[in-house]
Structure 1
Amino acid sequence: MSVILQKKIPYDPTDLRALPGIQPTQMQDWLYQDDAFAAQMNRRAALLSERRDDVLALDPQAEEAAQELLALLLATAYPDATDHVVRPDGVRVEIDTARPMDTLCLLVQEDFCILQKHGNEHVLTGAVLCFPASWRLSEKFMRPLVDIHIPVDSYDDNIARRVQRLFDGIKPDRPLWRFNALWYEDPELYQPRSASTPREKPEEGTTSYLRSERQTLLRLPHTGAVVFSIHTYVLAANSLSEMENPA
């Protein structure tokens, strides 16, 4: 498997904020394309073909939200789409509205999680997750927010309440974003890991690669579902000092 790395990143990944670390953003900044677009998209297509049951899940109650998400993404990233789109790398993708999550997977670099309110909590009812950072979709599917974040040590009861209030307050067309910084020795994008065997967390600067996820939260106006998107960057750790002006 070839190594897929970005050469730059649109923020300083070492300038972390305390959890939940949320900032406002705009719809035009919801989705990103970067210098690893073609390589990441090829990897996504291979994972969808070879490991579909591991990277995609959709509960029937989330079907309408998935359709709405696909329509919004097309309007945002491919406004001239008809029955197909041609990606920036020249690849033609057929728009299959009967399989919205599959189509989403092949259109942009972002992974997507759909969360819907059940009682007092938001539950993960759908996702396409090609690039998990040490978690398994099968273990989190149909689980509420608190369970999704186990075993994140810093995600305590106070943070859980704040995050649930945050989800309740998200407005359509007013997305929010945050990022993380994860140090890895292996640059592989597809890194599922069971919660029962948590990964040892190395210190900053002790590994060969920095993995950073640009995460956004967006409410779909019709179904009211919250979409959590993840754009994954993997950079050589020794390249960070060379980025005087990340862009």
Structure 2
Amino acid sequence: VVFLEVICQDRLPFAPWLHPATRRLPGIQPLDMKEWLVRDEAFAAQMALRDRLIAEQRQDVFAACEGSEDAAREVLALVLSRLGPGYTREGSAVLRPDGVRVDLDADHPLVTAARLVQEDLCLMDQPEGSGEHVLTAAVLCFPASWTLSEKIGRPMTGIHEPVSEYTENMAARVQRLFDAMHEDRPLWRANALLYHSPALHHPLREAQRRVKPKGKAEYLRSERQSLLRLPRTRAVLFSIHTWVVPWDKLDAEQVAGLDSHPIETAGQGA
């Protein structure tokens, strides 16, 4: 099943191609935790789609390896501690700003956490003796041309195998960054991709290749990806907030910047 309803934001609050620090891969920046969870004008529509995907296509949008539930419980506790205005705690449930009641004990803790926030949530852990972090659990409702079932349980280099920009040197840099991550120093980066389709749920298998738009794209899709070290389990939480913005909603500076820095050739599609 493909959900094709148009769910777009009215504007793109940050354009990574306009800033030298975020234009180059990997473009990692320090994150202020007060800005970690974003609730924007697409919240109600995105959350309704997330709930529907979890209910109807659970096997496509949720996966968890054995042994990941403890870190997932830590993620849920962190999300609950960071919910802002508009949420109401009702005993063992939370009332979301869109009026939906989420039972905190009715599902896997990572699924429960993902039903509270707009961000997709992915857990990365480093098995003992392994030189790389592995994707151990995820709720991925809004994939930008990748498929969770192909990535779960795989290390970073395996996950990024089809990405030409993810060279051996890049992989080593990213792993050093993961190894050095401290719970008090969360990080973020942003990407941008051009699409003709506004579909938020846009999986693509590795054997396929995303066809880049010819001519003027109709939509710009941007992800803000955050990395947090969980203090108790030491797993890394990778969260993804997705904007899909119609081309005519980009401002003049953003459009002019795309002429100077074409994002499909500047590594922003990683």
TM-score, scaled relative to structure 2 = 0.86
Q: Structure 2: how far apart are the matches of 1:216 and 1:167? A: 12
- 5+ long unaligned stretches in structure 2: 255-270
- Which is worse superposed, 166-175 or 39-48? 166-175
Helix, strand or coil: the match of 2:173? helix
Structure 2 residue 196 is matched with structure 1 residue 185: yes
Q: Structure 2: how far apart are the matches of 1:49 and 1:98? A: 11
User: CA distance change for structure 1 residues 168 and 80 in 2, over 3 Å: closer, same or farther?
Assistant: farther
CA RMSD of aligned residues (A): 1.7
Task: Give aligned pairs, total.
Answer: 243
Q: Structure 2: how far apart are the matches of 1:26 and 1:66? A: 22
Which residue, 233, 236, 241 being the options, matches 1:226? 236
Aligned-residue offset at 1:80? 6.3
1:23·1:177 contact (CA, 8 Å) conserved in 2?
A: yes
1:30·1:175 contact (CA, 8 Å) conserved in 2?
A: no
- 5+ long unaligned stretches in structure 1: none
2:63·2:139 contact (CA, 8 Å) conserved in 1?
A: yes
1:1-247 superposed matches below 5 A: 1-15=4-18, 16-77=22-83, 81=89, 82-96=91-105, 99-118=108-127, 119-202=130-213, 206-241=216-251
Helix, strand or coil: the match of 1:132? coil
The one-letter amino acid of 1:10's match is P
Aligned-residue offset at 1:17? 1.7
Percent of aligned pairs sharing the same letter: 52
The one-letter amino acid of 1:180's match is N
User: CA distance change for structure 1 residues 13 and 240 in 2, over 3 Å: closer, same or farther?
Assistant: farther
1:27·1:173 contact (CA, 8 Å) conserved in 2?
A: no
TM-score, scaled relative to structure 1 = 0.93
Q: Structure 1: how far apart are the matches of 2:184 and 2:61? A: 27
